[in-house]
């Protein structure tokens, strides 16, 4: 039986939830009594009922011995609370535009629970610049209007990345001067379009490999390793007021990578290259030790820049099992990890706390199952748009 945890039976003097031990015991007692009386009064009907019960129990019994998916009950939080009001820094979510537009439950959560938003895909190169002389603003502008109407901060993601390049860019056949012009045009057109509308930009995303060397991206091949500094300069020229971030993953598990990042930031400062913030994506696994998470945050804070936990999610299915029910144990382990992230983040200077952003909103919308090719439950809201234990973990961490 699947327990929703929401359905309750009321019998005189008794309240019990479907699927609870108590309810299963009472179910069996009632059934037994009912069958006894049918057997006495109508043996034919009795046989029919027995056959029916056998058929039903077969259908409900798990195939290949795996337990049925447990749907962990949502947590109870006062209806009028908002996540962002319970944490002392901006609390954000990456959002899918089509869901903000078309799914009232989804947009309801975003409006109520978060005060910062990032476009999950709509402001990437391929989202905004599908052909050499065509910019597509409609979706991103929708988000700008949504953010303004609902008083949300908008975080820009991302001006330059080795992924999400439209084919006209990957097929681009100009020399290095033409590539430079194309890069500069993209950055400056986009930054100028959103001037005064976004608080910050992830200027370059994922420039480094995990071992601390520079990724051999198409940009590096065409323009050399120092193109990254020019990206920051171009953005700064187009909008001197917007904050500029370097964003990457892996700070928690690779000291080589975080050293490379902090060295780059130090050299930017020496050279006068504008940079204001560092984004730690934090696509975490629940097994990631707390100490690594703390060390990553401390290392980012030591740069003196704004620190953004920019793409937080905490996955559970390390072995990529294809059948993977979410259990209450997992729910509390995940909540404890969320709690630690928030605690460690809160320990840095308040002035450096740009905020924490989760990468999408609910388990139904997360990119993780697709990315890892296996089910998972990485976010603070479940697939039914209910708050999970992880939500409470965030609130606990903020206390």
Catalytic residues, by residue number, are 206, 311
Question: Is 162 among the residues that bind ligand XIL (CB under 6 A)?
Answer: no
d(CA 11, CA 14): 5
Contact letters (x/-) for ligand XIL, 277-316, by CB under 6 A?
A: ----x-----------------------------x-----
Cis peptide before 233 (omega within 30 of 0): no
Site for ligand XIL in 120-139 (CB under 6 A): 120-121
Question: Looking at beta carbons only, is 239 or 311 nearer to ligand XIL?
Answer: 311
Closest approach of ligand XIL to the CB of residue 157, in Å? 6
Cβ distance to ligand XIL smaller for residue 81 or 121: 121
Write out the binding residues for ligand XIL, residues 201-230 only, by CB under 6 A.
Answer: 205
Nearer to ligand XIL by Cβ, of 71 and 377: the residue is 377
Alpha carbons within 13 angstroms on the beta-carbon side of residue 379 total 27
Sole binder of ligand XIL in the list 172, 253, 367, 385 (CB under 6 A)? 367
Separation between Cα atoms, residue 309 and residue 281, nearest integer Å: 6
Give the residue nearest to ligand XIL (CB).
367
Rounded CA-CA distance 331/389 in Å is 6
What binding mask, one character per residue, do residues 43-82 give for ligand XIL by CB under 6 A, x or -?
----------------------------------------
Closest approach, Cβ 378 to ligand XIL, in A, equals 11
Residue 169 beta carbon to ligand XIL: minimum distance, rounded to whole angstroms: 16
CB 248, min distance to ligand XIL, A: 8
CB 228 within 8 A of CB 180: no
Q: How far is the CB of 309 from ligand XIL (least distance, A)?
A: 13
| Shortest Å distance, C-beta 96 to ligand XIL | 7
Closer residue to ligand XIL, CB minimum distance, 120 or 139: 120
Q: Which residues contact 292 (CB under 8 A, 6 or more apart)?
A: 252, 253
As a whole number of angstroms, the distance between CA 351 and CA 354 comes to 8
Rounded to the nearest whole angstrom, what is the least distance from the CB of residue 365 to ligand XIL in the complex?
9
Our CB check for ligand XIL shows the closer of 81 and 372 to be: 372
CB nearer to ligand XIL: pick between 23 and 160:
160
Nearer to ligand XIL, 115 or 160 (CB): 160
**Is-contact 135 161, C-beta < 8 A?**
no
Instruction: Please tell me the count of residues contacting ligand XIL according to CB under 6 A.
Output: 6
Residues that bind ligand XIL (CB under 6 A): 120-121, 205, 281, 311, 367
């Amino acid at each position: 039986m699947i327990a929703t945890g929401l359905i309750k039976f009321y019998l005189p003097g008794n309240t019990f939830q479907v699927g609870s031990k108590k309810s299963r015991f009472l179910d069996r007692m009632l059934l037994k009594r009912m069958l006894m009386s049918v057997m006495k009064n109508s043996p034919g009907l009795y046989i029919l009922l027995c056959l029916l019960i056998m058929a039903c129990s077969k259908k409900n019994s798990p195939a290949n011995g795996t337990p049925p998916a447990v749907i962990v009950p949502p947590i109870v939080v006062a209806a009028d609370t908002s996540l962002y009001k319970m944490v002392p820094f901006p609390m954000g979510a990456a959002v899918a535009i089509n869901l903000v537009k078309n799914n009232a439950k989804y947009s309801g959560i975003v409006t109520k629970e978060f005060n910062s938003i990032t476009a999950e895909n709509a402001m990437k190169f391929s989202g905004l610049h599908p052909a050499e002389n065509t910019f597509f603003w409609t979706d991103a502008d929708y988000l700008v209007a949504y953010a303004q109407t609902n008083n949300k901060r908008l975080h820009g993601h991302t001006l330059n990345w080795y992924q999400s390049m439209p084919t006209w860019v990957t097929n681009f056949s100009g020399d290095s001067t033409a590539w430079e012009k194309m890069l500069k045009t993209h950055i400056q057109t986009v930054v100028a379009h959103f001037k005064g509308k976004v608080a910050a930009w992830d200027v370059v995303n994922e420039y480094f490999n995990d071992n601390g060397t520079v990724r051999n991206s198409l940009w590096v091949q065409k323009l050399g390793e120092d193109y990254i500094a020019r990206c920051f300069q171009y953005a700064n020229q187009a909008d001197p007021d917007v904050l500029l971030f370097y964003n990457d993953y892996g700070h928690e598990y690779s000291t080589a990578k975080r050293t490379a990042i902090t060295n780059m930031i130090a050299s930017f400062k020496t050279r006068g290259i504008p940079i204001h913030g560092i984004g730690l994506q934090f696509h975490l696994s629940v097994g990631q030790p707390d100490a690594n998470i703390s060390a990553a945050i401390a290392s980012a804070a030591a740069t003196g820049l704004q620190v953004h936990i920019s793409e937080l999610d905490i996955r559970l299915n390390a072995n990529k099992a294809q059948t993977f029910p979410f259990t209450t144990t997992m729910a509390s382990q995940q909540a404890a990890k969320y709690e630690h992230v928030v605690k460690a983040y809160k320990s840095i200077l308040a002035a450096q706390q740009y905020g924490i952003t989760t990468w999408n909103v609910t388990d139904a919308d997360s990119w993780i199952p697709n990315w890892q090719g296996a089910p998972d439950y990485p976010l603070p809201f479940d697939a039914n748009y209910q708050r999970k234990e992880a939500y409470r973990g965030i609130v606990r961490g903020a206390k």
